[in-house]
Amino acid sequence: MSVESLFPRLEPLLPKVQKPIQYVGGELNSTVKDWDEATVRWALMYPDAYEVGLPNQGVQILYEILNELPDTMAERTYAVWPDLEALMRAEGVPQFTVDGHRPVRAFDVLGVSFSTELGYTNMLTALDLAGIPLHAVDRTDDDPIVLAGGHAAFNPEPVADFLDAAVLGDGEQIAIAISELVREWKAEGEPGGRDGVLLRLAETGGVYVPKFYDVEYLPDGRIKRVVPNRPGVPSRVFKHTVMDLDEWPYPKKPLVPLAETVHERFSVEIFRGCTRGCRFCQAGMITRPVRERSITVIGDMVANGVRESGFNEVGLLSLSSADHSEIAEVAKGLADRYEGTNTSLSLPSTRVDAFNIDLANEFSRNGRRSGLTFAPEGGSERMRKVINKMVTEEDLIRTVTTAYTQGWRQVKLYFMCGLPTEEDIDVLGIADLAKKVIKAGREATGSRDIRCTVSIGGFVPKPHTPFQWAAQCDHETVDRRLRELRNSLRNDKQYGKAIGFRYHDGKPSIVEGLLSRGDRRVGAVIEAVWAAGGRFDGWSEHFSYELWMKSAAEVGVDVDWFTVREREEHEVLPWDHLDAGLDREWLWQDWQDAVNDVEVEDCRWTPCYDCGVCPTMGTEIQIGPTGRKLLPLTVV
Amino acid sequence: MVQRLRVRYAKRGRLRFTSHRDISRALERAVRRAGIPVAYSAGFSPHPKISYAGAAPTGVASEAEYLEIGVSRACDPLRLRADLDASLPPGLDVLDVVEARAGSLADRLEGSMWEVRLTGVDPAEAASAVAVFLAAASVAVERLTKKGMRAFDARQAVQTLTVVTDADGTAGQEPIHSCVILRMVVRHETPAVRPDDVLMGLRLVAGFAPPSPPAVTRLAQGPLDAMTGEPADPLEADRVGGDL
């Protein structure tokens, strides 16, 4: 049965909405396959606005990989803004894909990529607009399998009732495996219907099907245990790790949108994973071990991506890009290749201790000299020991001063507020540090024309990190500390004018905390917020703290219990049955070390400290140097 | 920069929803992919030398958009036309390229011919509304601009306004038989009078209110011919090579 394009029904609505081009599709390198030629059909959703979702690497990679399979097709769908949502409801136009403008409900799998928990309400909007029942138990054989991935899927419990399945970790291989499993099931005549295919997925041990697990609670509200409720379903579900990134050089055909998006560049992931061991960093914990892409494959991907896309900026992505074993050679080789072409390079995540000025100069050789950002994260030496971000004050001041003397006028410093064990003095330490940076910069350059911007985010404890047991700091305390910090900066006659200060209030972090460490009971809050009109929670103009608190109270969920309560060692955490490979005892020990200001080294350069990932997952660190060099590109 | 090339291109179908900024990004990328040796401005933040003349509004299709590209190495206009067209997404189509020889292109764009397709409209009602509009000396309309609501005259700039009865279609579009087509030539003035301003004027003077959004296409823009009152080819002066 073929499926008609919804575009003729959508088109008359487009003149009435903001930025209509985002709903039109037709991006360069996008793919529209014949509906009837595919047996397994995926709709891939990034649950935020098109301008945020389109550049997402994860979605682009899976879109390309799935479309390369001969009997599989993949199309993309994004959250529609409330103006179009209202028109779609009025005219009865369902959630559509931007490629073929096909109705999302007609697909076999709806894959939703959650980089953050703040997309949960947008998923509900999409399900509802698609005509797919919100609750997995209400779905029929005519509904797609709703499958979550992305970092937030490492604790999918708050959205467990809305999901049919979730996968943890790298998506490339498991997406192909799922597609193959669904293809076989369909070829056999869909035995067992919806539960039949979900059971097959669950039995692999690599796909979590929430409804096949029962959660039992203790009288005090804590979880007693989470157990499979049917035979064949494993008690633990493991994450997926792609080894040898050189074998997966995606995206090969980067999507180039007509609409403006948040990242207008071609990005190459230069490595995955990070073992620096920052204790607040969920990404660093759940993506272990470090797997580098080799310098030559990076070079080939950049050459291909720039040629295919026409972008004039290349981003070298990773969790800490200057840590690549051959980053200096990569930077020099690329700068040489693109000399005189107005193609600029950017290195989004750079550690103070891995930064060097030669590297920065290579990156700004062929284009704009972009700003420098460093993230000491903690304002005092003690705080940085607690979070294991081992950057000394001397290092930071030396690095920033060097940047000023080399011509950078503006440096951004990123910190967090609300960290475990934090006291007022730790946050006020940020002001001292910023002032010292300006003082040293003025002395070194002899100029007063230098600035730094202090940017602060609220800390949210995340699952699968040593801080998963920690009490989140209440928003009143965060707001008070930030006020005092702001006053300390503003009232400084000598340096205040040279220091910018950017921060958000602490309330959104509480909601993020509820969604990060929540269990299945939090799903009722999400649904109530959505039903009351909650949308686009990652956007400050749409987010409403009051709506979240009111909805939580209505459904009887105690937000404090999920956020500002410290957990004890043996409490069953909602995500304990989902295995990122991290040894729970190691995580607990690292939490104890944090409280005692004990640091841990990086296992790339020092002996293994038994975090548990490699033996559990059968993986190993893959790093260079390879000793190879980038050769000049032949001029076409 | 050794040469300037003037490009006429069309914005068709779904790509009519692109904004001017969207087109500008798409063009810069297409130029890079096509390997066209575009010249860059000097300075701290170099920009490709591509300038746009009077872009059609978001949501409006066009058969006659113009831009100028400065190149650092002499290019054959026919070759550039083929390369750029192949590199642009379908719907942004290059129609004509000439080497700039004389004068300013923007100065030649004196007026535009627009076509407005309206569905669910009675042709007789449209014709009488047009007659009332043309009979008026001025028609004050309001539009929300960046500076807030602004009132201006929508009548003076309208050179011609007719109801086309034979729906024989225009380039790039399928004929739609159940619709009324308004065709108008509007002089480029400040503030710009756009087809939707004329539609607003028709509503104000004659209560003419089409039930669904209009499909608007710019058919031509250029120097207004003294005899016909219609826009002529603005690239003609470059083709003959003389001074305008």
| B168 pLDDT more than 80 | no
Contacts of A636 in chain B (CB under 8 A): 35
In contact, A409 and A450? CB cutoff 8 Å: yes
Does A21 contact B44 at a Cβ distance shorter than 8 Å? Answer: no
B12, B15, B25, best to mutate vs chain A, most A CBs in 10 Å: B25
A26, A309, A342 ranked by CB distance to B40: nearest: A342
Q: Please give the mean pLDDT across all residues of chain B.
A: 91
**What residues of B are in contact with residue A304 (Cβ under 8 Å)?**
none
What is the domain range of residue A84? 7-238
pLDDT-derived band of residue B243, with 50, 70 and 90 as boundaries?
A: very low
pLDDT of residue A18: 96
pLDDT at A391 over 90: no
Q: Looking at residue A529, which CATH number applies to its domain?
A: 3.30.750.200
Q: How confident is the model at residue B214 (pLDDT cuts 50, 70, 90)?
A: very high
Q: Other C-beta atoms within 10 Å of A542: how many?
A: 15
pLDDT, residue B212, reads 84
**pLDDT above 80 for A551:** yes
Count of residues making up chain B: 244
The answer on pLDDT for A216 being more than 90 is yes
CA-to-CA distance for B49 and B69, rounded, in angstroms? 6
Non-local CB neighbours of A247 within 8 Å, separated by 6+ positions? none
Q: Mean pLDDT across the stretch A302-312?
A: 96
Q: What is the pLDDT of residues A608-634, one digit of tens each?
A: 999 999 999 999 999 999 999 998 886
For residues A405 and A338, state if they share a domain.
no
Partners of A15 on chain B (C-beta within 8 Å) are 59, 213
A378 touches A281 (CB < 8 A): no
b (16+ CB within 10 A) / e for A615-628: eebebeebbbeeee
The DSSP H or E segment spanning A202 is helix A193-203
Instruction: Tally Cβ neighbours within 10 Å of residue B64.
Output: 24
Task: Read off the pTM.
Answer: 0.95
Q: Is residue A406 located within the same domain as residue A340? A: no
Q: Is residue A35 located within the same domain as residue A166?
A: yes
pLDDT at B190: 87
Q: What's the pLDDT score for residue A635?
A: 53
Contacts 24+ apart (CB under 8 A), A340-345: A340/A366, A341/A366, A342/A312, A342/A366, A342/A367, A342/B40, A342/B46, A342/B48, A343/A306, A343/A312, A343/A313, A343/A314, A343/A367, A344/A312, A344/A313, A344/A314, A344/A368, A344/A370, A345/A313, A345/A314, A345/A315, A345/A316
User: How many domains does chain A divide into?
Assistant: 3
- What is the pLDDT at residue B244? 43
Quick one: average pLDDT of A207-213?
Answer: 98
User: Considering CB atoms only, which of B14, B32, B90 is closest to A312?
Assistant: B32
Taking the C-alpha atoms of residue A514 and residue A117, their distance in angstroms, rounded to an integer, is: 9
Q: Is the dihedral of CA B229, B231, B235, B239 positive or negative?
A: negative
Partner-chain contact B14 A259, CB within 8 Å: no
A15, B25: Cβ pair inside 8 Å?
no
Task: Test A20 with B32 for CB contact under 8 angstroms.
Answer: no
Residues A387 and A354 in one domain: no
Query: How many angstroms separate the CA of residue B59 from the nearest CA in chain A?
Result: 6
| DSSP per-residue string spanning A528-541 | HHHHTT---TTSTT
Q: Which position has the higher pLDDT, A409 or A564?
A: A564
A-chain residue closest to B47, CA distance: A342
Instruction: Please give the average per-residue pLDDT across A282-301, as a whole number.
Output: 98
Mean per-residue pLDDT, B172-200: 84
Taking CB atoms and an 8 Å limit, are B28 and A259 in contact across chains?
Answer: no
Same domain, A633 and A563: no
Q: Is there a domain that residue A59 lies in?
A: yes
Q: Confirm whether A590 is domain-assigned.
A: no
3-state SS, residue A622 = strand
Helices (H), A11-78: 50-53, 57-68
Domain-embedded: residue A1: no
Task: Tell me: pLDDT of A34 over 70.
Answer: yes
Gap from A309 CA to chain B (nearest CA, Å): 7
Question: From the candidates A22, A255, A258, A343, which should be mutated to test the interface with B, based on the most B CB atoms within 10 A?
Answer: A258
| Interchain pair A309, B28: CB under 8 A | no
Kindly state the average pLDDT of the residues A137-156: 98
Q: How far is A19 from chain B, CA to nearest CA, in Å?
A: 8
To the nearest whole percent, how much of chain A has pLDDT over 70?
Answer: 99
Residue A28 to residue B44, Cβ atoms within 8 A: no
Interface of A with B (CB under 8 A): 7, 11-12, 14-16, 19-21, 24-26, 28, 256, 258-260, 264, 307-312, 342, 368, 636
- For residue A244, being part of any structural domain is answered with no
For residue A599, pLDDT over 50 is answered with yes
- Asked if the structure places residue A333 within a domain, the reply is yes
In B85-228, the DSSP E strands lie at 92-99, 111-119, 140-145, 148-153, 158-164, 179-187, 215-222
Q: Closest approach of chain B CAs to the CA of A16, in angstroms?
A: 9
Work out how many CB contacts closer than 8 A connect A with B: 63
Residue A612 gets the label, from left (phi > 0), alpha (psi -120 to 50) or beta, of left
Q: Tell me the one-letter amino acid at A333.
A: G
**What CATH number does residue A281 fall under?**
3.30.750.210
* A448-501 pLDDT per residue, tens: 999 999 999 999 999 999 999 999 999 999 999 999 999 999 999 999 999 999
Model confidence at A636, pLDDT cuts 50, 70, 90, reads very low
Residue at a domain's end among A528, A547, A578: A578
| Residue A591 in domain | no
Percent of chain A surpassing pLDDT 90: 91
> pLDDT tens for residues B98-129?
999 988 999 999 999 999 999 888 899 999 99
Q: Mark yes or no for CB contact B212/A12 under 8 Å.
A: yes
Q: Is the pLDDT of residue A504 over 60?
A: yes
Strand B148-153 versus strand B50-53 pairing type:
unpaired
For residue A584, pLDDT over 50 is answered with yes
Question: Are A477 and A609 found together in one domain?
Answer: no
- Does B29 contact A256 at a Cβ distance shorter than 8 Å? yes
Cβ of B213 within 8 Å of Cβ of A16? The answer is: yes
Are A310 and B32 an interchain contact pair (Cβ–Cβ within 8 Å)? yes
* Confidence at residue A357, expressed as pLDDT on a 0 to 100 scale: 79
Does residue A464 belong to any structural domain of this protein? Answer: yes
Q: Are residues A183 and A314 in the same domain?
A: no
> Domains in chain B, please, with CATH?
3-107 (3.30.70.580), 111-222 (3.30.70)
User: Which of A221, A238, A255 is where one domain is finished?
Assistant: A238
CA distance B242 to chain A (A): 35
Question: Does A479 share its domain with A518?
Answer: yes
| B chain contacts of residue A28, beta-carbon cutoff 8 Å | 29, 89
Mutate to test the interface with A, among B15, B17, B47 (most CBs of A within 10 A): B17
Nearest CA in chain B to A261: B22
**Tens digit of pLDDT for each residue in A333-376?**
999 999 888 888 888 777 887 777 788 888 877 766 667 889 99
**Which of A178, A203, A238 marks a domain boundary?**
A238
Tokens, residue B184: 């108008």
What is the per-residue pLDDT for A121?
A: 98
Examine the domain organization and report whether A554 and A446 are in the same domain. Answer: yes
Lowest mean pLDDT among A135-139, A304-308, B212-216: B212-216
Q: Do A260 and B59 touch (CB under 8 A)?
A: no
CB contact under 8 A, A20 and B58: yes
Residue A342, pLDDT score: 86
| Shortest Cα distance, chain B CAs vs residue A113, angstroms | 26
The reply to whether A56 and A44 lie within a common domain is: yes
Interface of B with A (CB under 8 A): 14-15, 17-19, 21-22, 25-26, 28-33, 35, 40, 44-46, 48, 58-59, 87, 89-91, 212-213
Tell me whether residue A2 is in a domain: no
Instruction: Clarify whether residues A462 and A518 are in a common domain.
Output: yes
Please state, in angstroms and rounded to a whole number, the distance separating the CA atoms of residues B84 and B234.
Answer: 20
Instruction: Determine the average pLDDT of the residues in A487-516.
Output: 95
Residues in chain A: 636
Q: What is the mean pLDDT of residues A256-270?
A: 96
CA distance A523 to A502: 32
The token pair at B232 is: 């002529």
Please tell me whether residue A111 adopts helix, strand or coil conformation.
strand
pLDDT digits (tens, 9 = 90+) for A77-99: 999 999 999 999 999 999 999 99
Q: Which residues of B touch A24 (CB under 8 A)?
A: 14-15, 17
Separation in Å, CA of A368 to nearest CA in chain B: 6
pLDDT the model gives residue A367: 67
Which residue in chain B is spatially nearest to A259 when comparing CA positions?
A: B22
Instruction: Kindly tell me if the per-residue pLDDT of A144 is higher than 90.
Output: yes
Distance CA A11, CA A20 (A): 9
Q: What is the CATH number of the domain that holds A107?
A: 3.40.50.280
To the nearest whole angstrom, how far is the Cα of B13 from the nearest Cα of chain A?
A: 10
Q: Are residues A160 and A62 in the same domain?
A: yes
Region of residue A407 (left: phi > 0; alpha: psi -120 to 50; beta: else): left
* Inter-chain touch B33–A16, beta carbons under 8 Å: no
To test the contact with chain B by mutation, choose from A21, A98, A101 the residue with the greatest count of B C-beta atoms within 10 A, namely A21
Å between A255 CA and nearest CA of chain B? 12
Whether B28 sits inside 8 A of A256 (CB atoms) is no
B28 contacts on A by Cβ (under 8 Å): 310, 312
Smallest CA–CA separation between A307 and chain B, in Å? 6
Average of per-residue pLDDT across A166-176: 98
Token digits of residue B104 = 């300013």
Q: How many CB atoms lie within 10 A of CB B183?
A: 16
Instruction: Determine the average pLDDT of the residues in A210-229.
Output: 98
Which pLDDT belongs to residue A600? Answer: 94
Report the residue of chain B nearest A23, measured CA to CA. B17
